[in-house]
Amino acid sequence: MRTISPPVGLPALNETDLVGQVARRLTEAIVQGRLPPGSKVVEAGIARELGVSRAPVREAARLLEQQGLLVANPRRGFFVRQFAADDIDEIYDLRLCVERHAAVLAARNLTPETRDKLRRQIDVLYEMADLDDPARQVEEDYRFHRLICEIAGNRRMLRLFDDLASELRMVIGLIGRLYDDPHEIARTHEPVLAAIEAGHPERIVAHIDYHLGHAWREVGRLVREIPPWPAAAK
Amino acid sequence: MRTISPPVGLPALNETDLVGQVARRLTEAIVQGRLPPGSKVVEAGIARELGVSRAPVREAARLLEQQGLLVANPRRGFFVRQFAADDIDEIYDLRLCVERHAAVLAARNLTPETRDKLRRQIDVLYEMADLDDPARQVEEDYRFHRLICEIAGNRRMLRLFDDLASELRMVIGLIGRLYDDPHEIARTHEPVLAAIEAGHPERIVAHIDYHLGHAWREVGRLVREIPPWPAAAK
DNA sequence: CAAGTCTAAACTGTCGACAGTCGGCGATTA
DNA sequence: TAATCGCCGACTGTCGACAGTTTAGACTTG
């Protein structure tokens, strides 16, 4: 009778995770600009709107605070983070620093499978360009860079990337369309992959620098163009 | 799990910002090993011990979760994070990557004032060595490295450093004494400062690599020596 | 008409309560 | 004799309530 637990492949279900769900909804609203930068996040309001009590809303807010999407003012509540131009600089500075390293590590760990994943992801970028879907292209762009961090194999690095990305998403959601030529953006990923395949650390760093440096300047320019911030409601 | 949440010796607290205070107390208890890795953090128990309700305890726990000190198991509660040897590798890998960059930036921003701060911090390390106070020396060691991040001027980088440090503190609290010769550890900071003063990027990176690489190997060795983990008290 | 001043409404921080889940233990059954 | 069942207490997830604080707006006052 060596049958303790019959292993039937059933996916575990995680039903009520209110905190997580609230966090996701809030993030969505922020990224989509429905909660503009500087606006107050009224706990009771969100709670009522989502049909839950304030407790899970507060816990979700703490999460987003730690993630940098909200800032907490004691006794005054949570507010949607306002980004300044130098926030962009900070984020890209860190991204550059981390992604350089990630790419070098990724090259070291590269297998045929992971290489193909990167290749296919670039193809997806071309597809998005054809479909002219800027929002999804930005998302798929992140996915490419995230893949590099994933392949690098350092979970903390991956989390850091996700955190930075979620901050960037917010900014980019605000400035809307990012590039003029969506095919161009897909193309600029090619040399990065090529360098990783080649495996020369210097070349990898150089191409990452070039690629991200381009995005940095572009986003920086756009952010500076939209002076302070769009009417921080309330 | 017949446990009526045994007291961990947490003195009661008052005033406002309960969440922050609870978070600090919990961190303390974890770092000092009073809440050993793997142990369950019983909300009601902590709340009772600190003389507060469960709400602020939960919010503090979420904070520590995001910081990596706790892990949340839905419906089962929060548990003190258990570190494996490869966690050390991840943390030091990231630290190295970030601190290299920070040091180069710091060199660029160096002023006489900030230089003096670094100098004085090394002197403090010697003092701690004289006093033979390993715990405080480790703490002052962090402060030196933190100073570099501070001088670099990227707030996100600084926060990342703090997060990594708080994870490391936990590990180091567990392995106890870190180095045999506390004066040696103070001395090894000299070339780092010298390189930053000199301002040669390559030299800076080389010395940071050497310095942190040493710590990495040392901590890694010690962690591997203490095989699984000290009786994860339930 | 600008600058305070005061007051009521709106919110946050925290609490205690309650329903439902989890895990261990003894009883049960093959 | 060992796997399983069912029960019971401990604990989590969530809620509504309340006190104290902040804010917006009406009302004075110089």
Mean pLDDT score, A112-129 = 96
Q: CB-CB: which of A63, A98, A100 is closest to B66?
A: A63
Residues constituting chain A: 234
Q: Cβ(B164)–Cβ(A157) under 8 Å? A: no
Is residue A144 predicted with pLDDT exceeding 90?
yes
Mean pLDDT score, A111-135 = 94
How distant, in Å, are the alpha carbons of A6, A8, B25, B106 from that of A2?
10, 16, 47, 63
Q: What is the pLDDT of residue A228?
A: 55
Between strands B70-73 and A77-80, the pairing is unpaired
Q: Which region among A46-55, A101-110, A180-189 has the lowest average model confidence (pLDDT)?
A: A180-189
Smallest CA–CA separation between B101 and chain A, in Å?
7
Is residue B110 predicted with pLDDT exceeding 90?
yes
Q: What is the pLDDT of residue A8?
A: 59
CATH architecture of A18-80: Orthogonal Bundle (1.10)
Starting from the edge strand earliest in sequence, which strands make up the sheet with A77-80, in order? A40-41, A77-80, A70-73
Residue of B97, B158, B160 to mutate when probing chain A, most A C-beta within 10 A:
B97
Q: Among all strands, which nt has the closest C1' to A6 (CA)?
A: D3
- Comparing A41 with B17, the larger pLDDT belongs to A41
CA geometry: angle A30, A33, A36, nearest 5 deg: 80
Q: What is the pLDDT of residue B226?
A: 67
**Number of C-beta neighbours around residue A135 at 10 A:** 15
| Protein-to-nucleotide distance from the CA of B41 to the C1' of D18, whole angstroms | 28
Q: What is the pLDDT of residue B178?
A: 64
Q: What is the pLDDT of residue A165?
A: 95
CATH class of B85-225: mainly alpha
Residues of B in contact with A164 (CB under 8 A): 156
- Give the start-end residues of each E strand in B42-172: 70-73, 77-80
Is residue A193 predicted with pLDDT exceeding 90?
yes
A206, amino acid identity: A
Q: What is the pLDDT of residue A177?
A: 65
Smallest CA–CA separation between B225 and chain A, in Å?
23
The per-residue pLDDT of chain A, averaged, comes to 89
Residue of B92, B98, B156, B202 to mutate when probing chain A, most A C-beta within 10 A:
B156
Is residue A44 predicted with pLDDT exceeding 90?
yes
Of all residues in chain A, the percent with pLDDT exceeding 70 is 88
Could you tell me how far CA A187 lies from the centroid of its own chain? 21
Long-range own/partner contacts, residues A206-211 (CB < 8 A, 24 or more apart):
A208/A96, A208/A99, A208/A100, A208/A103, A209/A96, A209/A100
- Taking only the tens place, the pLDDT of each residue in B151-163 is 999 999 999 999 9
Mean pLDDT score, A76-85 = 93
User: If pLDDT is split at 50, 70 and 90, which confidence band does A5 have?
Assistant: very low
- Comparing B8 with B88, the larger pLDDT belongs to B88
Q: How many angstroms separate the CA atoms of B132 and B187, rounded?
A: 15
Mean pLDDT score, A214-228 = 82
Q: Which region among A13-27, A44-58, A98-112, A172-186 has the lowest average model confidence (pLDDT)?
A: A172-186
Residue of A16, A62, A162 to mutate when probing chain B, most B C-beta within 10 A:
A62
Residues of B in contact with A63 (CB under 8 A): 62, 66
Instruction: Give residues with Cβ within 8 angstroms of B150, minimum separation 6.
Output: B158
Q: Cβ(A191)–Cβ(A206) under 8 Å? A: no
Q: Cβ(B64)–Cβ(B170) under 8 Å? A: no
Rg (CA), chain B: 19
Q: Is the dihedral of CA A106, A220, A125, A206 positive or negative?
A: negative
Q: What is the pLDDT of residue A222?
A: 86
Nucleotides of C under 7 A from a protein CB: 10-17, 21-25
Q: Cβ(A69)–Cβ(A61) under 8 Å? A: no
Q: Cβ of A93 and B157 within 8 Å?
A: yes
Is residue A147 predicted with pLDDT exceeding 50?
yes
Query: Chain A residue with minimal CA distance to B155?
Result: A90
Residues constituting chain B: 234
What residues does CATH 1.10.10.10 cover in chain B? Answer: 18-80
Furthest CA-CA distance within chain B: 61
The per-residue pLDDT of chain B, averaged, comes to 89
Q: Cβ(B163)–Cβ(B94) under 8 Å? A: no
Rg (CA), chain A: 20
User: If pLDDT is split at 50, 70 and 90, which confidence band does B12 have?
Assistant: very low
Instruction: Give residues with Cβ within 8 angstroms of A44, minimum separation 6.
Output: A54
- Comparing A121 with A17, the larger pLDDT belongs to A121
- Comparing A96 with B222, the larger pLDDT belongs to A96
Question: Which token pair is B130?
Answer: 């004289």
Q: How many angstroms separate the CA atoms of A144 and A125, rounded?
A: 9
Q: How many angstroms separate the CA atoms of A93 and B89, rounded?
A: 23
User: If pLDDT is split at 50, 70 and 90, which confidence band does B230 have?
Assistant: very low
Mean pLDDT score, A211-221 = 91
- Taking only the tens place, the pLDDT of each residue in B182-227 is 898 899 999 999 999 999 999 999 999 999 999 999 888 888 886 5
Q: What is the pLDDT of residue A62?
A: 96
Q: Cβ of B74 and A14 within 8 Å?
A: yes
Those residues of chain B whose CB sits closer than 8 Å to some CB in chain A are: 16-17, 19, 55, 58-59, 62-63, 66-68, 74, 90-91, 93-94, 97-98, 101, 105, 154-157, 160, 164
Is residue A226 predicted with pLDDT exceeding 70?
no
Q: What is the pLDDT of residue B14?
A: 46
What residues does CATH 1.20.120.530 cover in chain B? Answer: 85-225
- Comparing A40 with B33, the larger pLDDT belongs to A40
Q: How many angstroms separate the CA atoms of A221 and A92, rounded?
A: 13
Mean pLDDT score, A95-110 = 98
- Taking only the tens place, the pLDDT of each residue in A153-172 is 999 999 999 999 999 998 88
Q: How many angstroms separate the CA atoms of B28 and B22, rounded?
A: 10
Q: What is the pLDDT of residue A80?
A: 96
